[in-house]
Amino acid sequence: MSRLYLHCAICARQQADGLISGAAWGRLELPPDSRVQHPALRGSTLRACPSCIGGDPDWQNRLLNTLGIGAGGGFGLRAEPAQ
């Protein structure tokens, strides 16, 4: 059985997926019809690690810029902060 990993779309950090570890990661939902290729994309959700979201209140735009989309890319985004 292969182990599932969370993959940060900003810094490429990987961490084993689990209930406790996954709760600290930020989530950014892309529209289901968006066409983005990235190893951190799971379904329509991108993840960002606690280090990347902790020091940057604007981490959602930073994540989009990393993907080359930018904040004005016409996406209706839903971001969920870490809990």
- pLDDT per residue as tens digits for the range 22-68: 788 888 888 777 777 777 777 778 889 999 998 888 888 888 887 77
Residue 79 located in a structural domain: no
Residue 60 located in a structural domain: yes
Residue 65 located in a structural domain: yes
Residue 75 located in a structural domain: no
Residue 78 located in a structural domain: no
Residue 76 located in a structural domain: no
By residue range, what is the domain housing residue 27?
5-70
* pLDDT at res. 31: 79
pTM of this structure: 0.71
Query: For the chain, how many structural domains are there in total?
Result: 1
CA separation, residue 20 to residues 13, 31, 51, 68, 76 (Å) = 17, 26, 15, 30, 28
Residue 29 located in a structural domain: yes
Residue 12 located in a structural domain: yes
